[in-house]
Amino acid sequence: MEDKYLRHLIRNVAFFGDANIPESDPTYKAAFDTAKLLADSGFTVIDGGGPGVMHAATSGAEAGGGTTLTVTFDPINAPGYEGRYLKNVPDKEIVTTNYIDRMFKLMEHGDIFVIFKGGSGTISEFGTAWVLAKLYYGHHKPFILYGNFWAEIIDVLRKHMNLDKKELSVFEIVDSPKEVLAAIQKFERRIDGGKQL
C-alpha cells in the first residue's frame, strides 16, 4: 500500500466479535481479511487473545506482515468465558485479571475499534465504545461496525432509545475490508483537520 510508511494518526486497531465461530464462517474470513489489509497498511492489530474473530484478527495481521497485541485474562468462576486460545499467538500479550479490565485495556490500547457480529460480550463492548464516544465527544475514539445488519440494529435503537445527533456520528457501518480502511482514513482526515470526530 502506498501509505504504509506514512505516520498514522490512528495506529492501533482493536477488533471485537464472536469467539464461537469456526474458520469457515464468513465473519471469521471478514475479520482475517480486514486485519491482513490493515497490517499491510501499517496498522497494529489488537484483540482479546481468544478464538473466533480474535484469532482471525491475529492471524490476518500476521499474514499481512503486521504487529499484533492481545489482551487476555484468566478468570475464576467464569464458565461462560471462551478462554485463552493457545493458537492465538501475538507479538505481545497483556494479561489482565478480569473481563472488565480486559475490555478497558483493549479500548485503552486501540485508537479505533472494529466491531464484528458477536454475542452478549460483543454487545457489551459495542455499548461501552459508544458511551465512551458520547462522554468524551471531540476527544473520543471512533468505531466501525462491520456488516450491513448493523444498520437495522441502529435503526431500532434510534427509534426506541434517546440518541442524539452526536452519538450517531461517532461510527461508520461498512461491509468490506476496503471500506474499513476507507472509514479509518476518513476519521484520520477529521482528526488531522482539527474537526470533531
pLDDT in tens, 59-83: 999 999 999 999 998 766 555 555 5
pLDDT of 191 above 80 = no
- Tell whether the model's pLDDT for residue 88 goes beyond 50: yes
DSSP 7: P
32-65: per-residue pLDDT in tens? 999 999 999 999 999 999 999 999 999 999 999 9
pLDDT by residue (tens digit) across 131-178? 999 999 988 999 999 999 999 999 999 999 999 999 999 999 999 999
Instruction: Give the pLDDT of residue 170.
Output: 94
Residue 6, pLDDT above cutoff 50: no
Task: Say if residue 125's pLDDT is above 80.
Answer: yes
Q: Which residues contact 161 (CB under 8 A, 6 or more apart)?
A: none
Write out the CATH class of domain 12-192. alpha beta
Q: Using CA atoms, how far apart are residues 84 and 192, in angstroms rounded to an integer?
A: 37
DSSP secondary structure, 42-67, as one string: T-EEEE-S-STHHHHHHHHHHHTT--
Binned at pLDDT 50, 70 and 90, residue 98 comes out as confident
Position 9 scores a pLDDT of 83
Instruction: Return d(Cα 97, Cα 194) in angstroms, integer.
Output: 37
Cα separation, 103 vs 67, in Å, equals 20
DSSP summary character for residue 185 = H
Map out the domains of the chain as residue ranges: 12-192
Arithmetic mean of pLDDT, 87-110? 93
Asked if residues 140 and 128 have their Cβ atoms less than 8 Å apart, the reply is: no
Residue 118 has pLDDT above 80, yes or no: yes
Phi and psi at 40, nearest 5°, equal: -65, -25
